[in-house]
Amino acid sequence: MPRDLTQEIHNLIERGRDRQLRLAVTGLSRAGKTAFLTSLVNQLRHAGIDARLDLLKPAREGRLLGAQRMSQPDLGIPRFPYDEALASLAGEPPRWPEPTRGISELRLKLRFKTRRARGLLGDTANLTLDLIDYPGEWLLDLPLLAHDFLGWSEAQLAAMGPERQRFAEPWRRAVAAHRPDEVVDETRLAELAGRYADNLRQAREAGFSHLQPGRFLLPGELEGAPVLQFFPLPGIAEADRRQLEALPAESLYKTLARRFRHYQQHVVKPFYREHFRRFDRQIVLVDVLGALNAGPERFEDLASALATLMQSFDYGKRSLLNRLFAPRIDRLAIAATKADHVTPDQHANLVALLESLLAEPLKDLRYADVPVRAFSLAAIRATENRQVESDGQRQPALRGHGLDDAPLLLYPGDVPARLPDAGFWQRQGFTFTAFRPPPADGGALPHIRMDAALDWLLGDKLR
């Protein structure tokens, strides 16, 4: 029997016995995926030694014995750079790990005592845990499968608010020099596509999240490939469909439409088919505090990006996702990251805000009976809680170090428990300061509620 097949059958059997789990981590850029996965691996590696995992039941019961790294099954996927991440955290001064920019993977084998085990002797079992990290931006492309080029063009241009239009202006001006029936050479096409990608990058740097196509921002191995060289075409409308479709194959319109289809078939679909469909569980990380910091237009934009991103977890029978790929995620977590940026009395509000930000997608998920839970957490806790005296009153505060290593003691502000309205943005500004990571001491990384998230994501597999 070929080796691959033997391995595949072994994998199937293991999965049947609940001994194998594929857990995927996603979120938009800077949501905290790299920090989360680094901490997750670190906590499990230190389980049974010095990790503090009281909210993870098998750990609390003393049944989680530890975790070892294994070689990963998919040789075609980059390894998650765990050692490199730990090395930056252990630097002097400590630095946040370089974020990952594409899909990466790491396999752990967890060893635990089963519930039946009594005392020191008894049954031990293993759980093979595949961890997969991939950019949330890639999920923003799912709705693109429901469009053809014409529909997509119209939708993209209509969705640009005033500020986004400013970033798009140089591209717009360049593309306005061409008619849809014109023959445009490769070099010029690449240049126009480059300008379109620049506009997306600038928008992202300015704090916008809802940007398509997702691979333009995080191309992975497709950097510079012609499949990424298309863009929406201004000035075309559904009413012109007949004329447009009758244009010659080498016209600008037809060329862009062909590339768009190629992107759908050879970039978006394969990700869902080859990766997404095989995930058992998923955590979606959201930098809610970062969006609050960036102001109302960005906050709205994050909400709309998340609504799109969450369509990838809409398992309603008639959803686009189900019709195309029949996925099988049986449990989902959503988490507001970097909770150590606010004082503990604000954590409940942070979860409530995350839930209201995702209210619509959560409704759909619950309706489709996908178990989902919301958390606030800090993968790597960079601050300590303090009390300060102000006007004779004790106030909560945070102590840590800024990214420039200067010591800080501050109260960062209140987190609203609901979606902020216009009055709120006028009344209150936010300044959630960025902190550098804590100095490493060789022990498990300090965290907030990583154990609660782990309990939800894999606790039941360690019985």
Residues contributing to the site for ligand GDP (CB under 6 A): 27, 29-35, 96, 99-100, 337-338, 340-341, 378-380, 382, 434-435
Q: How far is the CB of 21 from ligand GDP (least distance, A)?
A: 22
DSSP string, 385-442: EEEEEETTEEEEEEEEEBTTS-EEEE---PPPSS---HHHHHH-------BPPPPP-S
| Smallest separation, CB 119 to ligand GDP (Å) | 38
Q: Which is nearer to ligand GDP, 292 or 379 (CB)?
A: 379
Tell me which residue of 6, 7, 26 sits closest to 73, measured CA to CA: 7
CA 300 to each of CA 137, 427, 431: distance values in angstroms, whole numbers, following the listed order? 17, 18, 18
Q: How far is the CB of 457 from ligand GDP (least distance, A)?
A: 17
Structure tokens at 275: 């990766």
Query: Within 13 Å, how many C-alpha atoms sit on residue 273's CB side?
Result: 8
Q: Which is nearer to ligand GDP, 111 or 399 (CB)?
A: 399
Cis ω for the linkage preceding 213 (within 30 of 0): yes
Q: Quick one: 35 or 365, whose CB is closer to ligand GDP?
A: 35
Cβ proximity to ligand GDP, 95 vs 278, nearer residue = 95
Q: Is 340 or 455 the residue whose CB approaches ligand GDP more closely?
A: 340
Nearest to 45 by CA among 28, 24, 27, 66: 66
Least distance CB 96 / ligand GDP (angstroms) = 3
Whole-number minimum distance, CB 356 to ligand GDP, in Å? Answer: 22
Phi-psi label, residue 373: left if phi above 0, alpha if psi -120 to 50, beta otherwise:
beta
Distance of CA 154 to the CA centre of its chain: 27
Q: What is the rounded distance in angstroms from the CA atom of residue 373 to the CA atom of residue 123?
A: 31
State in angstroms the smallest separation of the CB of 308 from ligand GDP: 17
Minimum CB distance to ligand GDP, residue 432 (Å) = 9
Q: Which parts of 159-278 fold into alpha helices (H)?
A: 162-175, 186-205, 214-217, 241-245, 252-263, 269-274
Q: How far is CA 381 from CA 337, 346, 403, 444, 445, in A?
A: 10, 15, 14, 11, 8
Q: Which is nearer to ligand GDP, 193 or 453 (CB)?
A: 453
Q: What whole-number distance in Å separates Cα of residue 296 and Cα of residue 223?
A: 32
> Over the range 124-162, which residues count as b (16 or more CB within 10 Å of their CB) and which as e?
ebebbbbbbbbbbbbbbbbbbbeeebbebbbebbeebee
Closest contact distance (angstroms) between CB of 435 and ligand GDP is 5
The C-alpha atoms of residue 121 and residue 132 are separated, in whole angstroms, by 34
Q: Which is nearer to ligand GDP, 112 or 138 (CB)?
A: 138
Smallest distance, Å, CB 216 to ligand GDP?
A: 17
Q: Which is nearer to ligand GDP, 153 or 282 (CB)?
A: 282
Nearer to ligand GDP among residue 164 and residue 338 (C-beta): 338
